[in-house]
């Protein structure tokens, strides 16, 4: 499954009706978003119970 397939699946699950062009336009913002969330997760200290 490619990154684009995952994005398409996520948008369908969210109830969005997107064309291929819409997906194309959304992909760069989605990629940036995932990177930012990953940075946030990494920056938060792990809790002792799930370290």
Interface with other proteins, residue 25, by CB under 8 A: yes
Query: Measured from the CB of residue 7, what is the shortest distance to other proteins in angstroms?
Result: 8
Interface with other proteins, residue 41, by CB under 8 A: yes
Residue of 1, 5, 15, 46 interacting with other proteins (CB under 8 A): 15
**Cβ atoms of 34 and 10 closer than 8 Å:** no
List C-alpha distances in Å: 6 to 25, 43, 47, 48, 50. Answer: 15, 25, 29, 32, 27
Q: How far apart are CA 15 and CA 9, in angstroms?
A: 10
Binding site for other proteins (CB under 8 A): 10-11, 14-18, 22, 25-26, 29-30, 33, 36-37, 39-41, 43-44
């Amino acid at each position: 499954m490619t990154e684009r397939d995952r994005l398409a699946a996520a948008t369908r699950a969210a109830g969005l009706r997107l064309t291929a062009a819409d997906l194309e336009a959304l992909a760069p913002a989605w990629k940036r978003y995932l990177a930012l969330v990953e940075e946030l997760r990494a920056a938060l200290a792990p809790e002792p119970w799930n370290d």
